[in-house]
Structure 1
Amino acid sequence: MQFQWSQLVFLIAGSRSIAALQQQHIGTDDLKAKCSAFSGELQIPDATVYLSEVVAAGTNLSLPDYNVTCGNPYQIVPKEICRLSLYVATSNRSGINMEAWLPFEWTGRFLSVGNGGLAGCIGYNDIAYGSSLGFASVGANNGHNGTSGGAFYNNADVLEDFAYRSVHTGVVVGKQITEAFYGSSHKKSYYLGCSTGGRQGFKSAQDFPDDFDGIVAGAPAIAFNNLTSWSGHFYPITGPVNSSTFVPQNLWPVIHADVLERCDALDNFVDGILEDASLCNYTASNLLCGSNSNASACLTEEQVNTVNQIYAPLLASDGSLIYPRMQPGSEILASRILYGGAVFPYTTDWFRYAVYNDINWDPTKINNTDYETAARTNPFNIQTWEGDLSAVQKRGAKILHWHGQMDAIISSDNSPRYYEHVSETMGLSSADLDDFYRYFRVGGTGHCSGGDGAWAIGQNLNAFDSLAPGENILMAIVDWVENGNAPDTLIGTKWNNGTQSAGVDYKRAHCKYPLRNRFKGEGDAKDIEAWECVE
């Protein structure tokens, strides 16, 4: 990690006043002894505790029960913790597997983390991150195991867990565990999530505003039913790989280069990054093949039409908006995920197992009737589109919302749409919303992490260069909640060759909406001071 010990001052200083009582009355040795016996002593309604164990710092923790579709069955544990694993029943045919990672150097803070996709995968990387920073950290499996939505089939209770109940139950139980272990309750409660995890953060804000004092919600999968329709609608546009409308993989770098040719300079500097992709109104007409064109670097008329439809919003039969367009700049990765000649698998699962309960539903026939049925069905209001956040505002809680501008899975155009929806619903200007809700466009950033620009903003264990609040979104929400210091920018880091161990290439400040990042026109573009936030 490339930060200096001096950058830990905020983290430590902010923790002392909160955690003083805990640290005065219970020491690490006592907590270790308590951890060993904790699983036998803990009494939680409807819960079965599997284990409690001390895990040393640096342990490569084996996770033998982790579903193979969820990723690697192990997790590096950065700081020594008491690990608790348990099952909590949510009905007579549903329940959540969850873990609580309780650091011995506790700051008095509680953190819940989210999930991704349709997945039933505990966010081990995120609870490792939180616990390494002194948060009592919990994560759950969303009521099922693995990345498939098959568990929703004919089981509304599992679907309810996925829609909202897994996170909320994990928070309620996690706070009980925290108090039982440390002997006192948490002082501040936080949430960290991206994608489905971003939606879960907003679902908490909308329906359970007392759960968190601070929420970090990245690339949120809000307008969820419409999003799953949009993800599936690309197949009817592209057709299968042998269709005349299909754009093969070798042409997407050509299209991406044309996007940059047309739009890269809109932020006043040509560097391969669209700081605000919403400014780019791209059509592929320049790439239409002529009589003397190189066929490997141009598009047929049908392919031009395909690309133009991809960058157009999805509309209902009455002309109303279902979901915004895909923003230009994301096409290299999106072409493999969404435009590859097959229906996006989450769309298939959602319609088969949640919307229709019909395993024979054919995703290749998806159409406006399906989109409208999904929106109308909206199980457990999973849409997560309520614009009234007054309960969050009234209790003084805070929300930091961010979205990468080259997201290849969830259109970044949807995030400002929700922000404006909140503004209109509550009758508040951006200046008014600034008191409790701030949104940031993060240029050069893909879906939740990665990308061509300064994408590392502290959103996960592998994405931070500093613990200073200005450069770390998790510590930024802490600083805002506990000290009243609201961020006007989020400073991101780009590493050399995209590799953290290779060192920092440059840093760039990402602007608070509705401002956008713009090069001042002189100086080194890698200098953070060479950029400014403008209207």
Structure 2
Amino acid sequence: MILRTIKVVAIGALISGLAACNSSDDDPLPVPPPVAEPEPLPQLSAAVGAAFSGNCNDLTANLSELENTEITSSSEVAAGELTVAGNDIAAHCLVTGNMHQRVSSVDGNAYAIGFEMRLPIDWNGRFYHQANGGIDGRASTAIGGGGPGGLTNALYQGFAVLSSDAGHSGSLGPTFGVDPIARLDYGYTAVEKLTPMAKQLISLAYGKGPDRSYFGGCSNGGRHTFNTFARMPNEYDGYLAGAPGFRLPYAAIANIFGAQQYHSVATDPDDLSTGFTEDERGMVAAAALVKCDDLDGVNDGQIHAFEACQEIFSLDDVPTCIGDRDGSCLSAAQKTAIAPIFSGAVTSTGEEFYAPFPFDTGIATGGYAQWEFDIPTTRDTGAVAFIWGVPVADPATFDDTDFGLNGSIDDMITSVESTDDIYTEAANSFMIPPNNGEELSAVRERGAKIMVYHGMSDPIFSPLDTVNWYKNLSANNNDDATDFARLYMIPGMGHCSGGPAVDQVDLLTPLVAWVENGTAPDNLVATARGAGNVGGENGDVPADWSVDRSRPLCQYPLVAHYDSNSSGDVELAASFSCQ
């Protein structure tokens, strides 16, 4: 006790001496300034509805003042005439038109930004800009998806909804990219041109503009969403992005890389699927389940703890064939060829240029097979060659299969990063959001909100790429972006939907509540789409699942864990919690 007292006295004397060196006897020790509390985010007000003004059939004449816009039709759609996922859509006005019509000086083709807009007679005061998928090319029915599985949609809820072809006709296929303006419209400028027009049209129809504006889509629509919140942070209040291919050119080249890997071990060179057959994919998925299924506390056919699984599972856990391939093993050559597809596509020098893909249960599905074995040589090749590549390919001599299976990956990467006198903005600029959409202070500080969802078995856009995006976004926001952006990973789900997954959830309703009421989207529940589901049956739902199995939809990095202290029904979300 005496020794401890001496130490305390000595330390106290040392502190006093140090203080004396830096201040007079009359000055107190400096007090560190208090840590500033972060400024509270603005709370946006709720939208207020309005009735349609005038006669829908006469609206065309009233829209003549829209700049650079031709309205081609305006007509009323009666209640119930349009049905979506078993729900009758209320009466609304359907307006179609074109913006910025022109003839290209490069390829001689006619171009315009074609659109349709659906304006409810009983409007809720909100605008939803629906971004479409693929390479666009048509204005899909403007309903405004509310999340995977089709449980609800914006039009059904009373939003005014816009859809467009992003500036080109689908009849051109990927060759629309020969025109440099069409390239940029597809990348991001069509949204910049459509947004003010749509808001003005709403003002003319209802006597006021939208109180709240939302933007959303899946796949390329998710990419459009990422581009919009990065480039136009003041135009929209809420964003709903699914399977966001925000690095689409590199994802497409990675898919071509995968096709070349499969081709190297295919038993039939004309059928890439023989490089990794359905039985072999099912065997790998089953092996992953053996290693990872119970990481979430229960064996239920789903891998919730996907990051932990990637740490402990690899193709080394799969049997290596000693004799012929029979679906119960992979040959050594297959493992060598397939492993880089999952670990991340690389250049000829071994430099990774796209994200890894997780081992997940959906790799055995038909949807997975289409993206892995068909799309690389039927869609990705044309996009790289015509929409993104510089120099552009010659449509008269282009061979997509030869380009995909024999083309240089290094040259493809160079082409999407190049410019010339005609194509003055590179694809990795006009397709990808600035800073990968990871610096979003303007979105956060105005009170806007972002919700993103991604299936863990997505074969074309890596869910781990989206996880990396969110980690970087969090790092740019003091390691916590949850006050304005949340990410939801869905085990087993493929590209936008499908797969052995609970792939149906309404995300639009909680997004609106978050934006307009400040109610954070907690306690979300996703369900399976078994037989008789109103949103459409998912044929990938395993036979031993309940047709409406449910799980908590956890915000990343939390995952669903079974409550081991209970005997809860494994089919019900109530038996799980986000941990």
TM-score bucket of the superposed structures, by smaller chain = 0.7 to 0.9
- The residue that corresponds to 2:490 in the other structure is 442
Question: How many Å separate the matches in 2 of 1:79 and 1:143?
Answer: 29
Contact 1:511 1:517 in 2 (8 A): yes
**Structure 1 stretch displaced more, 276-285 or 475-484:** 276-285
Q: Does 1:519 align with 2:562?
A: yes
Deviation at 1:440, TM superposition (A): 1.3
TM-score calculated relative to the size of structure 1: 0.83
Q: Does 1:493 align with 2:527?
A: yes
- The residue that corresponds to 1:34 in the other structure is 55
Q: Does 1:382 align with 2:417?
A: no
Contact 1:338 1:344 in 2 (8 A): no
Give the direction of change, closer, same or farther, for the CA distance of 1:486–1:335 in structure 2 (3 Å limit).
Answer: closer
Deviation at 1:313, TM superposition (A): 0.9
Q: Does 1:309 align with 2:358?
A: no
Unmatched tracts of structure 1, length 5 or more = 1-15, 62-71, 458-471
Counterpart AA for 2:81: T
Question: How many Å separate the matches in 1 of 2:479 and 2:356?
Answer: 25
Counterpart AA for 1:365: N
Question: How many Å separate the matches in 2 of 1:314 and 1:389?
Answer: 28
Question: How many Å separate the matches in 1 of 2:155 and 2:578?
Answer: 34
- The residue that corresponds to 1:183 in the other structure is 207
Q: Residue deviations 1:248-304, cap 9 Å, x none?
A: 33432222222222222222222222224333334334221235x882422222123
Q: Residue deviations 1:18-71, cap 9 Å, x none?
A: 335x35xxxx6xx4x52110012212111111100000122159xxxxxxxxxx
Question: How many Å separate the matches in 2 of 1:441 and 1:242?
Answer: 35
- The residue that corresponds to 2:421 in the other structure is none
Deviation at 1:371, TM superposition (A): 4.3
Counterpart AA for 2:125: G
**Structure 1 stretch displaced more, 206-215 or 498-507:** 498-507
Equivalent positions of 1:119-198 (< 5 A) are: 119-124=136-141, 126-127=143-144, 129-146=153-170, 149-198=173-222
Give the direction of change, closer, same or farther, for the CA distance of 1:342–1:196 in structure 2 (3 Å limit).
Answer: closer
Give the direction of change, closer, same or farther, for the CA distance of 1:375–1:267 in structure 2 (3 Å limit).
Answer: farther
Question: How many Å separate the matches in 2 of 1:18 and 1:303?
Answer: 56
Counterpart AA for 2:578: C
Deviation at 1:504, TM superposition (A): 6.0
Q: Which runs of 4+ in 1 moved over 4 A?
A: 317-320, 501-504
Counterpart AA for 2:484: F
Helix, strand or coil for the counterpart of 1:401? strand
Deviation at 1:147, TM superposition (A): 8.1
Contact 2:252 2:460 in 1 (8 A): no
- The residue that corresponds to 2:322 in the other structure is 290
Helix, strand or coil for the counterpart of 1:51? strand
Question: How many Å separate the matches in 1 of 2:167 and 2:90?
Answer: 28
Counterpart AA for 1:279: A
Deviation at 1:165, TM superposition (A): 1.7
- The residue that corresponds to 1:340 in the other structure is 373
- The residue that corresponds to 1:273 in the other structure is 302
- The residue that corresponds to 2:352 in the other structure is 321
Q: Residue deviations 1:478-497, cap 9 Å, x none?
A: 00110001113431111334
Deviation at 1:427, TM superposition (A): 4.7
- The residue that corresponds to 2:119 in the other structure is 102
Alpha-carbon RMSD across the aligned residues, in angstroms, is 2.9
Give the direction of change, closer, same or farther, for the CA distance of 1:191–1:241 in structure 2 (3 Å limit).
Answer: farther
Deviation at 1:307, TM superposition (A): 3.0
- The residue that corresponds to 2:91 in the other structure is 80
Counterpart AA for 1:248: T
Helix, strand or coil for the counterpart of 1:189? strand
Contact 1:440 1:490 in 2 (8 A): no
- The residue that corresponds to 2:66 in the other structure is 44
Give the direction of change, closer, same or farther, for the CA distance of 1:343–1:454 in structure 2 (3 Å limit).
Answer: closer
Contact 1:206 1:389 in 2 (8 A): yes
Aligned-pair identity in percent equals 25
Higher Cα Rg, which structure:
2
Unmatched tracts of structure 2, length 5 or more = 1-44, 105-110, 146-152, 419-425, 538-545
Deviation at 1:375, TM superposition (A): 4.8
Contact 1:119 1:149 in 2 (8 A): no
Helix, strand or coil for the counterpart of 1:321? coil
Give the direction of change, closer, same or farther, for the CA distance of 1:476–1:411 in structure 2 (3 Å limit).
Answer: same
Contact 1:57 1:79 in 2 (8 A): yes
The number of residues matched between the two structures is 482
Question: How many Å separate the matches in 2 of 1:408 and 1:312?
Answer: 13
Question: How many Å separate the matches in 2 of 1:78 and 1:512?
Answer: 31
Deviation at 1:90, TM superposition (A): 6.5
Helix, strand or coil for the counterpart of 2:160? strand
Give the direction of change, closer, same or farther, for the CA distance of 1:168–1:365 in structure 2 (3 Å limit).
Answer: same
TM-score calculated relative to the size of structure 2: 0.77
